[in-house]
Structure 1
Amino acid sequence: MAATMQITFDAVDPGRLARFWAEVVGYVLEPPPAGFATWDEALDAWGVPVENRNDRSALADPDGAGIRLFFQKVPEPKTSKNRLHIDVRAAIGLESAPRMAELERRAAELVAIGATRVQRFEPDAIDAGHLVMQDPEGNEFCLD
């Protein structure tokens, strides 16, 4: 049997981080379980207190093909560089100046919703060029 995967983010504010990444990758908030019209209805039925309703969030690929993204509340903020990061393929098929212009355009959109731009790497013999970014909680990712 093939294994399935999800990427899990530790977060101070899972709901906010989930909404950010939904915009980045075009995912949607995972729908409530069968039998419930909304998440609030499900959480009410399960007796989850209001103060714990932002402890978790999840995103799903609307086409059903991509990896699930899961966000879980942790008490501490991020303190050091990620050992694993996500590359967001934002300029596939473009090269040189048009590629970098598209990465810059996408970076501006993401900054407007909470990302931070960290560094630009120019194209060279082994790298097509990319931008290093951080999500609203400081997790590094690249626009590639």
Structure 2
Amino acid sequence: MPTGSCLCNSVKYQYKGEVITTAVCHCKTCQKFSGGSSVNFLIPHDHFRITSGKPKEFNHTHETGMHMTMHFCDNCGVMLYKTADRKEFQDAVVLLAGTLDEPNALDSAAPDAEFFVGERAKWWRPVEGAKQLEAFT
């Protein structure tokens, strides 16, 4: 069962089953909270659980109008996952893949899509084989 945590290990999680989709997001919101673009795993909400600690929440209205809740460690500040009211994200957790504990976790999960490619840094090459999308589908 894959596990992950924040930098200080105060908040830990695990999930079971397969990832629904993997995507890189270049939207302004992702750029702000991650310091760049973010790599995300979409996980069914009922397959995800916090195993240690309690994340703090920050509510934000995304530039598309959807309402998001960012879940992060109140000690080290690392954002672990997001939830949102957009139809495709209801009943799911948008997990920040860089918080996984497995050192090579990203090696086996090439992104299926890139979102907000018009906001991607010009030097960042498109991910080969990933759908290139201007917004969420």
TM-score bucket (shorter structure) = 0.3 to 0.5
Q: Which has the larger radius of gyration?
A: 1
Q: Which protein has the bigger helix share?
A: 1
TM-score (normalizing by structure 1)? 0.31
Q: Which protein has the bigger strand share?
A: 2
TM-score (normalizing by structure 2)? 0.32
